[in-house]
Amino acid sequence: AENTSLLTSGELGLYITRNGEKDVLGKYLCDNEKFTASTTATGTSWTCNTTYYWAADNATIDYVAYHPYQSSITGNYISWNVTSQDSGNLDLLYQNASNVANTDSHSIDITLGHVCSKLVVNVSKLGSEIAEGKTISSIKIGGLKAKGNFYLFADSNNGHNAGSWVPDVNSADIEMAVLVTPNQDMKATYEAILIPQTAPFTLTISLSNNSEYQLAVPSQTFAAGTCYTLTIQVGQDKVNLGSITQTDWVTKDGGPLTAQ
């Protein structure tokens, strides 16, 4: 597919269902099976400890795939927490497919989409007082929900659709991760994976001498699968907001999952 990149590492969770039924398991259906990436000179494939089969050559299946794999999922959703950006892989990927037909290779090709949002903060200019030996030590986001539930399957009891988010009621500070190599022509670049939501937020920029600058950003929609880039100038006792741009995140091609 156009504008895709190959997912070549980690563990993927897979549900194979029939007519939305995921409780009847066996050699044809699975409930949160773990597939592990294996990369060779010929490409990447995903394997698990159990062999699954197509029920017949003309059989169709439904499936839900997500990455990274979570071993303890109860109910229809995954609980996600982006408070600590250094806690591991926070980029949640997902696909929900119906009526997938058997192929000559007896495999399914999974294309995972980003269901989180992403914020990139570029610092384009530092004031003279910062240039005199001071550096940025951290950038924190305030006012946004850092936890939420992502529904792998629809929950008719609570009215939640498959592929939807329910953010937590409380906001929390999110410390952004610094890019070792800033974006081109930038003094510094920070980024954070976010729960999709619409809200105003603040950026707190801390310097190496413990002084702080704060910027209030008006209400912003953080949509799933979208990367937002915010450019700021820091210095002279204030922070100036440049522009906010948004781009689509590329999908992730997981490669073939093969059944016999």
The residue whose two tokens read 């549900």 is 15
Q: Is 56 exposed, middle or buried (0-12, 13-18, 19+ CB in 10 A)?
A: exposed
In angstroms, rounded to a whole number, what is the distance separating the alpha carbons of residues 257 and 61?
A: 13
Return the pLDDT at 5: 64
Q: Residue 116 carries which DSSP code?
A: S
Q: Is 128 helix (H, G, I), strand (E, B) or coil?
A: helix
Rg (C-alpha) for the chain, rounded Å, is: 21
Return the pLDDT at 22: 55
Whether 232 and 182 have beta carbons less than 8 Å apart is answered as no
Return the pLDDT at 254: 47
The pLDDT profile of the chain, 260 residues, written as one tens digit per residue, is 234 467 878 899 999 987 655 555 567 888 899 999 887 777 777 888 888 888 776 778 899 999 999 998 878 999 999 998 986 789 999 999 998 888 777 778 888 899 999 999 999 888 776 766 678 889 999 999 999 999 999 998 888 999 999 999 999 999 999 998 888 888 899 999 999 999 999 999 998 878 888 899 989 999 999 999 999 888 766 677 766 777 877 554 444 443 32
In angstroms, rounded to a whole number, what is the distance separating the alpha carbons of residues 108 and 25?
A: 18
Return the pLDDT at 192: 96
Residue ranges of E strands in 165-250: 165-167, 171-175, 177-178, 188-194, 197-207, 212-222, 226-235, 238-248
Torsional class of 163: left (φ above 0), alpha (ψ -120 to 50), beta (otherwise): left
